[in-house]
Chain A
Amino acid sequence: MTCVEAERLLDSFVDAELPGPMLLEVARHAGSCPTCDRAVREMTALRGSLEQMVHAELEGLDLSGVWPAVEQRIGRSARRGAWRRLPRQLPMWGAAVAAVAAGALLWFRTPPPEPVRVTHVRPNQAVIERLVSSGGARVGIMKDRKYGTTLIMVSAPGEDAGQ
């Protein structure tokens, strides 16, 4: 196997998507070729660092301060009105505490975490910025989910239909 052949298969090799014998062949080549070996290591490292980045983003979200803040606010409101508590006013105070709690809950509510954007660029990613078809041709765009390969399919009618 040559370096050019191996290079074409490296992506699938790292994803372990090659059939067994070919997987073995690429591994053998990489074992004897420092350039391809380095390429495999770089691709593996890139994937690892992407995974780490996503995990770090998720672990970094701190929601621990929300509930203690709400509890503290509720407790303070309850203590302030304790000496006036009368059986007749219980429903009113209950409603007030509930309102304060709801207010505090809204006030201290942490903003929803921003969606973690994973900018994993696929090797065959293509962004179509403009597309024009003419001559009666019908155009469809398809994308392979696994590899991100884009296909622009053109159905070309005969010369007579196009004119």
Chain B
Amino acid sequence: MIRRAARTVPAGLAVIVFLAMAATAQALSVEVTTVQASPEGPSDVQLLQFRPRLRRLVGYRAFRVIHEESRPCVWRNPEAFVIPGGRLLHVLPKGMREEAVVMQVQLQEGPRSLVDTDVRLQNRGVMLFGVDPERGTANGVIIIMLKAEE
């Protein structure tokens, strides 16, 4: 009886530790929303709260969501989000520091890496990446909204 207990207790503890580690490992959600900014036209209702700051930052008037994706992420595990226009946004969450999510973000267009950055984004905060294709302002720009939440 005692021998059996001696064998089951460590096994039980190992299972608990494994479950706890699994629970903490998948404790991050990353949301990537791609927005088309245009000089004129209607805007999506879900972007209402962002519209004033998008207007201030980007200078366009109309904003429409063209793609959005949210997925759970594991710390120190890279994730690639597809951005319309043949681009990829690679996100590598590294950890939490002072209530902020530390991550490496890389925006890739085909084989080219347009930008590669290490950022510390406030938990549940949103940061933006703008892609100006340099084909004139008439076509507008693509805005990528990146939100990370532990």
Chain A residues engaging chain B, CB cutoff 8 angstroms: 8-9, 12, 22, 121-135, 137, 139, 142, 144, 146-147, 149-159, 162
A37 to chain B: closest CB distance in Å?
19
Given contacts A124-B125, A126-B122, A127-B100, contact A135 B53 (CB under 8 A): no
Given contacts A135-B112, A144-B56, contact A8 B120 (CB under 8 A): no
- Given the complex, which residues of B lie within 8 Å of A131, measured CB to CB? 115-118
Given contacts A123-B122, A156-B132, contact A149 B53 (CB under 8 A): yes
Would you give the 0/1 interface string for B118-144, flagging 1 where the beta carbon is closer than 8 Å to chain A?
A: 111110111111111110000001010
Are the CB atoms of A132 and B119 closer together than 8 Å?
Answer: no
B25 to chain A: closest CB distance in Å?
23
Could you pull out 11 A-B pairs where Cβ atoms are within 8 angstroms? Answer: A22-B48, A122-B125, A126-B119, A126-B121, A129-B117, A135-B112, A137-B114, A153-B132, A153-B141, A154-B129, A156-B114
Q: CB of B41 within 8 A of chain A?
A: no
A2 to chain B: closest CB distance in Å?
12
Are the CB atoms of B117 and A154 closer together than 8 Å?
Answer: no
Partner of B126, one of A142, A149, A155, A162: A149
Are the CB atoms of A134 and B118 closer together than 8 Å?
Answer: no
Q: CB of B77 within 8 A of chain A?
A: no
Given contacts A129-B119, A152-B130, A154-B132, contact A142 B114 (CB under 8 A): no
A sample of 9 more A-B contacts (CB under 8 A), given A125-B121, A150-B128, A156-B109, is: A123-B124, A126-B127, A129-B120, A130-B118, A133-B115, A135-B112, A153-B130, A154-B114, A155-B134
Q: How far is the CA of A151 from the CA of B102 in the complex (A)?
A: 17
Within 8 A of A (CB), among B43-84: 48-49, 53, 56-58
Partner of A134, one of B48, B116, B126, B141: B116
Q: How far is the CA of A146 from the CA of B122 in the complex (A)?
A: 15
Q: CB of B40 within 8 A of chain A?
A: no
Partner of A130, one of B117, B126, B129: B117
Are the CB atoms of A154 and B116 closer together than 8 Å?
Answer: no
